[in-house]
Amino acid sequence: MARLEHIGIAVREAAATAALYERLLGVAPYKVETVAREGVRTHFIDAGTAKLELLEALDKASPVAKFLDRRGEGLHHLAFEVEDIEATMTRLREVGFHPLADAPRPGADGKRIFFLHPKETGGVLVEFCRSAALPLDTTEVPFDGGSLAVHTCGAPDAPALVVLFRASGASLRDLDPLLRRFEMHFRVVAFDFAAHGGGSPDLLLAALEHLGCARAHLFAHAEDAPAVLRFARRHPERTARLALHAPDVRDLSEDEFHRLSAPTLLAVADAGAPFDAALRLRRRFPHAALAVLPGDAAFDAFAPVLDRWFTAR
């Protein structure tokens, strides 16, 4: 299944257009990237469910410069992300389309891409893309006579956001939609809690101290939620905001909900056991916000909600 990933907009003055969208949306570009082989500089803006990609020509020979001369500023292309880009290219050829390349090629923002000509797609250039695995830096944090492997991405001077995973079988690849959004605004600190025994707030403290993070937002999924809540109770001065995705807090006692002062979001799908559990938790945790979305509570469905929660002021 394809989803709209970004809208490409050809512009003459990227700085002026970026300033316009900052006034409109309240967000500035999170990344500027030059793609020399295409003669273009791209400016990415997080617009919620999809991104905006401002395309600025590097020289008069650039395809974007020719587009601007021919059609002026405005919509340049629509980009759809797919699960398997090679299979998508094969399928489109089989049904009569003619991709503008023999194979997918590297594009901006860590993607592999190919295009279909506007003559075949109703006058709009269409891009298909697939994100490569998000590059992560790995740091070994000393802990309890051994070490803890911590994965980081995003700007080192950005606010810290800790992401715990795998307590219920999630992987870094499962979290990819979240990490991509979070790295726009945060220094993301992700690690496999289950692989190190799980459940210990001391692991969180060790990671934050080693990385020099005085305070952090915290995100946890399923069985990792109790450790995050316990950390927030013990270290309120180090806790900014919390978000719990499909939390499983059956092992928490009533006493452990006291002195939880950090703003907290409970994120769940609209049916099933996680939803029922979140409603029970909401009754025990009345000041928490509740985000309910249709579907199976996949991480990509909640990515925009969680991103807005952690960037709220």
Which CA distances in Å does 58 have to 32, 40, 53, 252, 273? 13, 5, 15, 57, 53
Residue 271, pLDDT score: 65
Q: What is the pLDDT of residues 34-76, one digit of tens each?
A: 988 889 999 999 887 789 999 999 999 999 999 999 999 999 9
Buried b (16+ CB within 10 A) or exposed e, 238-270: bbebbbbbbbbbeebeeeebeebebbbbbbbbe
Residue 297, pLDDT score: 47
- HEC string of 22-52 equals HHHHCCCCCEEEEEHHHCEEEEEEECCCCEE
Answer whether residue 169 shows pLDDT above 60.
no
How much is the mean pLDDT over the chain?
A: 84
Residue 48, pLDDT score: 77
Answer whether residue 137 shows pLDDT above 60.
yes
More confident site: 78 or 291:
78
- The whole model's pTM is what? 0.70
Answer whether residue 98 shows pLDDT above 50.
yes
**How is domain 3-131 classified at the architecture level of CATH?**
Roll (3.10)
What is the CATH T-level fold of the domain 137-311, as seen in this structure? Rossmann fold (3.40.50)
pLDDT-derived band at 228, boundaries 50, 70, 90: confident
Percent of the chain with pLDDT over 70: 85
Q: What is the pLDDT of residues 258-304, one digit of tens each?
A: 567 889 888 777 766 666 766 777 777 767 888 877 665 456 667 77
Amino acid of residue 100: L
Lowest-confidence region among 17-26, 189-198, 204-213:
189-198
Q: How many whole angstroms separate alpha carbon 199 and alpha carbon 219?
A: 14
More confident site: 222 or 240:
240
Q: What is the pLDDT of residues 145-164, one digit of tens each?
A: 888 888 898 888 889 999 88
More confident site: 272 or 195:
272
Lowest-confidence region among 44-53, 172-181, 236-245:
172-181
Q: What is the token pair recorded at 205?
A: 């403290």
Answer whether residue 195 shows pLDDT above 60.
no
- Domain limits of the chain? 3-131, 137-311
Q: How many CB atoms lie within 10 A of CB 87?
A: 10
Percentages helix, strand, coil for the chain (3-state, rounded to 5) are 35, 35, 35
Q: How many whole angstroms separate alpha carbon 306 and alpha carbon 219?
A: 9
More confident site: 67 or 140:
67
Residue 223, pLDDT score: 77
Average pLDDT over residues 210-232: 87
